Chain A
Amino acid sequence: MTSPTSQASTSHTQSHSATGHLPPVAMQFDDALQQHDACRLGMWLFLSTELMLFGGLFLAYTIFRIAHADVFAEASQHVAPGWATVMTALLLTSSLTMALAVQAVRDGLHRRATVCLLLTMLLGGGFIGIKLHEYHSLYAEHLAPLFGWPFGYSGQQDASLAKMFFVLYFFMTGLHALHMVIGISLLCWIMVAMIRKRDARRWSTAAEMVGLYWHFVDLVWVFLFPLLYLIRPDKWF
């Protein structure tokens, strides 16, 4: 920026206050736009590290699946693709409501933002609910190789290799579910601000970053769904 900082900052504040959608500028930034871009960039950098975190599990999955394709196909028939389809639909719908919520915060529409955030949380909660139900049925079938719980696999394929599928299943979906819980907490934080009718301008960047996070978690599931549930579906529910 060649123009004096104060001048640039003032002009941006003025141009945006009419529509009211950018937060006040912190001292280290030239103007609101630069602040917003820096935030967005930082979030994408964080999401890159998140992708590396999930990437390690995807790599482990790929190696085991290539080495033991038939084991994974058979073991995956113990999870329910029908429910997973419902979960995918819930999550995709929640991404729509999330995108609408971010737009509503930007536009300063407190009421609409609150409704959209609440819907996103409910859809996410529904996802977690079905997930927990699935975890419980796997636990009941002795297919949850965690915490030293009893594990017994009755199939054509080798039980210790099938165990590897369930280990990966629990770690991949578990890490994903943990991200969802964090996401729901963040949504709650933004929603409280909207209910209290706090200046939406201050929250537009925060809402957008939470949105990026939420969509990223959705994106991970888009790959988990066919990898874990649709190898060779047999029983749908």
Chain B
Amino acid sequence: MSGHSTRPYFVVYALLMVLLALTVGAATQDFQAWNFPIAMLIATVKAGLILVIFMHLRESSALTWLFASAALVWLAIMLGLSLNDYLFRMG
């Protein structure tokens, strides 16, 4: 693991800054109902870059990927099942 090039870090950093500019730019526009999904999409891409490069998932074992994904699965259960109630509750 030693002696790795630091180049990917700088590339990801540049991408993150571009995405930051993009999310700020998108917020100034009125896309009606699409503003929220666009903002979340950009945030998710940023998170993905941080996870894979900065947090070394790229070079991590399958087990680490499993642990990281499990966190997202539990979060999805918490958000998904709760919203299923709040969004579709009648009366």
Contact = CB atoms under 8 A, between A and B. Distances in A.
Interface of A: 19-21, 37, 40-41, 44-45, 47-48, 51-52, 55-56, 58-59, 62-63, 66-67, 81, 85, 88-89, 92-93, 95-96, 98-100, 103, 106-107, 208, 211-212, 215-216, 218-219, 222-223, 225-227, 230, 232-233
Interface string B12-45: 1100110010011001100000010001101100
B46 to A, nearest CB: 5
Contacts, number: 125
Nearest to A224: B43
B86 A51 contact: no
Q: Interface of chain B, helix or strand or loop or mixed? A: helix
A98 B9 CA distance: 10
Interface of B: 1-4, 6, 9-10, 12-13, 16-17, 20, 23-24, 27-28, 35, 39-40, 42-43, 46-47, 50-51, 53-56, 60-61, 63-64, 67-68, 70-72, 74-75, 78-79, 82-83, 86-87
A226 B82 contact: no
Nearest to B68: A44
12 contacts: A37-B61, A44-B64, A45-B67, A67-B86, A92-B17, A92-B20, A95-B50, A100-B6, A107-B3, A212-B56, A226-B42, A233-B27
